[in-house]
Structures are given as structure tokens and as C-alpha cells.
């Protein structure tokens, strides 16, 4: 049975999943890359964007597993790019170049309509103006028997958690402090929502926590 999953969400010790002041120069926010330093050296990342063989330890296994059985993704508007408000044109095509890492239909939450954007490698961005439930319905239909991954940002993940729509979540906790940024758990009572931490695994540069919704 397909699941709705949140995978490989990097988080600082003080609870931030992205740095502040996202911009074209700082796509992860100011100091945001520090919470992803567990992922950058891995084989999983290097195969997509690097020029090295990459490491093959625990952190890499977590990164590779996060792409298994994914049939569709859902992203918030900020995850697609820094453009705010109505689309001035359709020149912005995402952070990732002509071949994004998704390779499946990807649904972008937005208040402003835009035509689907077909990219290399099987990724098509669909821009959804009807909210999280419409995006999930369309993603489930596209995914079939495979899973739907909620890719972020933090506000998008919080909305799906609050609606009890996430089946399981994997957080990669880095031993760094951001001070400011986008918090994941703000105003969330995960215990009251029916979630519990079921496992933790120490990696080379992060500790990996697994949270599941009780049935």
C-alpha cells in the first residue's frame, strides 16, 4: 500500500530545517547548507550533482533509501524557487538545471496558476492552486501503488502533519545551531497528532530519527 512520506529532512539542533532569508544566492537560506553537510559527501548526492565517487556509509544508505519506491513528490512554492507572488513569466525552471532529481510527477503548491513544466529525466512540475488535499489527491493518482514524498519546505510539511496525512517521517539531525530560520516543529504537538519516534540511527555526520503515525 502506498504511503505519504517525509524523507531526509535535515534539521539543526535548535529545530530549523532551513536558514533564513532564502534568495537566489542562498537557496537553502543563510547558513542553511550546514544542516545538509551529512548528505553532500555521500554517493547518493555525488551521483546527482558531484564529481567524486562519494561515501557509502550510513548517511549514504539513508539518502539512497529516500528515493526508493517514490511515484510522486509534493513541494511547497519556496522549494521550487525564490520567485514570490504572481509568476512574472515562465523563465524560472527550478533550482536544479534541466534535469531535476525527482524523475516522477512533482506537484508544486502555489496560489498562482502556471502551465505544467516538462523537464528532462521524467520530471514534470504541476502547479496546484487548490491546497494540500488537491495536491495529495493528484500525487496519489500519479504515484499509483508507489509512495508520495512530501519534499518540503517546512511550512508544507507542517500542514501535512497537522492534517495527519503523513505516514512516516525521517529527520537527519545535524549537530549545528542556526539561531534563525524555518522551524519544522513550531506549534506542532506530534504526540497529540498520533505520532511517535520509533527508531534512531547514528550516521557519520547526522543522527537519523524515524517518526511514524500510530494506527
Q: Tell whether the torsion through CA atoms of 143, 146, 151 and 154 is positive or negative.
A: positive
* pLDDT score, position 136: 98
> CA 3, CA 19: separation in Å to the nearest integer?
29
**Is residue 46 a part of any domain in this protein?**
no
Cell numbers at 179, concatenated: 539561531
pLDDT digits (tens, 9 = 90+) for 130-178: 999 999 999 999 999 999 999 999 999 999 999 999 999 999 999 999 9
Neighbours of 114 (CB within 10 A): 16
* pLDDT score, position 84: 87
**Is residue 50 a part of any domain in this protein?**
no
Split at pLDDT 50, 70, 90, the class of 195 is very high
**Is residue 139 a part of any domain in this protein?**
yes
**Is residue 206 a part of any domain in this protein?**
no
> How distant, in Å, are the alpha carbons of 60, 157, 192, 214 from that of 75?
23, 9, 25, 25
Say what percent of the chain tops pLDDT 90: 92
**Is residue 140 a part of any domain in this protein?**
yes
Mean pLDDT for the chain?
A: 96
* pLDDT score, position 45: 96
Domain limits for position 168: 4-18+26-32+71-83+100-199
Q: Is the pTM of this model over 0.85?
A: yes
Query: For the chain, how many structural domains are there in total?
Result: 1
Query: Mean pLDDT across the stretch 27-52?
Result: 94
pLDDT at 211 over 80: yes
Query: By the 8 A CB rule, do 212 and 196 touch?
Result: yes
pLDDT at 24 over 90: no
Strand partners, 152: 75
pLDDT digits (tens, 9 = 90+) for 83-121: 889 999 989 999 999 999 999 999 999 999 999 999 999
pLDDT at 59 over 90: yes
**Is residue 38 a part of any domain in this protein?**
no
* pLDDT score, position 215: 80
Domain at 130, CATH number:
3.40.430.10
pLDDT at 1 over 80: no
Query: Mean pLDDT across the stretch 24-42?
Result: 95
Amino acid at each position: 500500500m502506498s504511503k505519504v512520506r517525509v524523507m531526509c529532512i535535515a534539521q539543526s539542533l535548535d529545530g530549523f530545517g532551513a536558514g533564513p532569508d532564502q534568495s537566489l544566492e542562498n537557496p537553502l537560506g543563510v547558513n542553511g547548507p550546514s544542516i545538509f553537510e551529512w548528505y553532500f559527501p555521500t554517493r547518493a548526492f555525488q551521483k546527482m550533482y558531484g564529481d567524486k565517487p562519494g561515501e557509502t556509509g550510513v548517511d549514504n544508505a539513508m539518502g539512497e533509501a529516500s528515493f526508493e519506491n517514490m511515484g510522486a513528490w509534493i513541494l511547497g512554492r519556496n522549494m521550487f524557487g525564490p520567485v514570490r507572488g504572481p509568476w512574472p513569466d515562465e523563465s524560472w525552471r527550478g533550482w536544479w538545471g534541466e534535469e531535476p532529481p525527482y524523475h516522477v510527477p512533482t506537484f508544486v503548491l502555489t496560489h498562482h496558476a502556471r502551465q505544467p513544466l516538462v523537464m528532462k529525466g521524467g520530471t514534470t512540475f504541476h502547479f496546484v492552486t487548490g491546497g494540500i488535499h488537491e495536491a495529495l489527491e493528484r500525487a496519489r493518482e500519479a504515484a499509483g501503488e508507489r509512495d508520495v514524498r512530501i519534499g518540503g519546505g517546512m511550512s508544507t510539511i507542517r500542514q501535512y502533519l497537522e492534517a495527519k496525512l503523513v505516514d512516516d517521517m525521517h529527520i537527519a539531525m545535524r549537530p549545528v545551531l542556526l539561531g534563525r530560520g524555518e522551524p519544522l516543529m513550531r506549534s506542532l504537538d506530534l504526540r497529540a497528532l498520533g505520532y511517535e519516534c520509533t527508531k534512531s540511527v547514528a550516521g557519520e555526520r547526522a543522527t537519523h530519527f524515524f517518526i511514524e503515525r500510530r494506527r
